[in-house]
């Protein structure tokens, strides 16, 4: 007698995505708005048309704007903070010397304004005359400008009180 054993079903291997997320968020900091965008060079020659970089843009209640790059390496997703823009100056410590305060402020980008270019594209102007241009493929550039302007307005009101 020749008994046939039932064939064993092959188990499917599932890749587990592990995130190595540095402590980007401050304690009690919440995300207000986030979406996938493409960082676009400000001036690009015609032969560099596809130089857009995929990023995750995150607006928090601190308020801060974080531009995050995700790199997938096998089954692990590494996350890097590429740009951090603050909406208000950091509080000055009474014990810091004046030159230390000025040096620390230069280490951070401060939000100055946002400009809507079209339904997909907007530009963020910061301190030190830096400009970042983003394209939102879901055509929510107007929402981004509204959210950023509101965060800036709220930050200015908090700083005055």
Convert the pLDDT of each residue in 7-48 to its tens digit: 554 444 443 333 444 468 888 889 999 999 999 887 766 555
pTM of the model: 0.75
CATH class for the domain made up of 27-89+100-160: mainly beta
What mean pLDDT comes out for the span 47-59?
81
Identify the pLDDT of residue 11.
45
More confident residue, 18 or 144: 144
Would you give the DSSP letter of residue 17? -
Tokens, residue 6? 């039932």
What pLDDT is stored for residue 12 in this prediction? 41
pLDDT of amino acid 31: 92
Each domain of the chain, given as residue ranges in start order, spans: 27-89+100-160
Helix (H) or strand (E) holding 157: helix 141-160
For 19, how many CA atoms within 13 A lie in the half-sphere containing its CB?
A: 8
Average pLDDT over residues 86-110: 64
Sorting pLDDT into bands at 50, 70 and 90, what band is 161? confident
What percentage of the chain has pLDDT greater than the value 90? 51
- pLDDT for residue 153 is more than 60: yes
Characterize 85-119 residue by residue with b for buried, 16 or more Cβ atoms within 10 angstroms of its Cβ, and e for exposed: bbbbeeeeeeeeeeeeeeeeeeeebbbeebeeeee
**Quick one: pLDDT at residue 103?**
44
Query: Quick one: pLDDT at residue 123?
Result: 97
pLDDT of residue 150: 98
Give the integer Cα–Cα distance in Å for 114 and 144.
9
**Mean pLDDT estimate for the chain:** 80
Residue the block writes with tokens 């230390």? 100
């Amino acid at each position: 007698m020749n008994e046939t054993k039932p064939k064993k079903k092959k188990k499917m291997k599932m890749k587990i995505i592990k995130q190595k997320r540095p402590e980007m968020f401050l304690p009690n900091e919440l995300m207000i708005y986030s979406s996938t965008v493409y960082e676009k060079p400000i001036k690009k020659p015609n032969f560099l048309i596809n130089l857009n970089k995929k990023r995750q843009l995150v607006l928090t209640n601190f308020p801060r704007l974080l531009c995050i790059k995700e790199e997938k390496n096998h089954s692990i997703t590494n996350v890097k903070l590429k740009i951090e823009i603050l909406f208000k100056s950091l509080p000055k410590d009474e014990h810091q010397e004046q030159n230390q305060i000025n040096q620390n402020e230069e280490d951070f980008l401060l939000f100055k304004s946002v400009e809507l270019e079209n339904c997909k594209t907007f530009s963020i102007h910061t301190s030190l005359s830096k400009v970042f241009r983003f394209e939102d493929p879901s055509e929510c550039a107007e929402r981004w400008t509204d959210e950023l302007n509101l965060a800036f307005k709220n930050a200015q009101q908090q700083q005055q009180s």
